Amino acid sequence: MGRPPAPPRRYWETNERLIRKLLLVWAGVSLGGAVLFVEPLNRFRVGAVPLGFWLAQQGAIYVFIALVFYYAWCMDRLDRRFAAEEPEHER
């Protein structure tokens, strides 16, 4: 079996690259904000609670939800872009 045609391969490479970037953001916020950098972040406050605590309890969830919506938006654009490149007989 040969290599897949260029557009599907490029589509999945682009999709995987986006997933890797978003996972890095998610890991950075979840691990970095809630565990590694909690002491420096606790110098700042969100309402009545320290920022490090807030990131661990609420902020990481909000970032994750935002990443899901951003991924859906990017994939919608990617799908439209590659659908325009796909020949009519392959749709």
Question: pLDDT digit string (tens) for 16-50?
Answer: 999 999 999 999 988 887 788 889 989 999 899 99
3-class secondary structure, 4: coil
Condensed to tens digits (0 to 9), the pLDDT of residues 58-82 reads 888 999 999 999 999 999 999 999 8
Contact 79, 61 (CB under 8 A): no
63 exposed, middle or buried (CB, 10 Å; 0-12, 13-18, 19+)? Answer: middle
Global confidence as pTM:
0.75
The ranges assigned to domains in the chain are: 7-83
List the structure tokens of 8.
């599907």
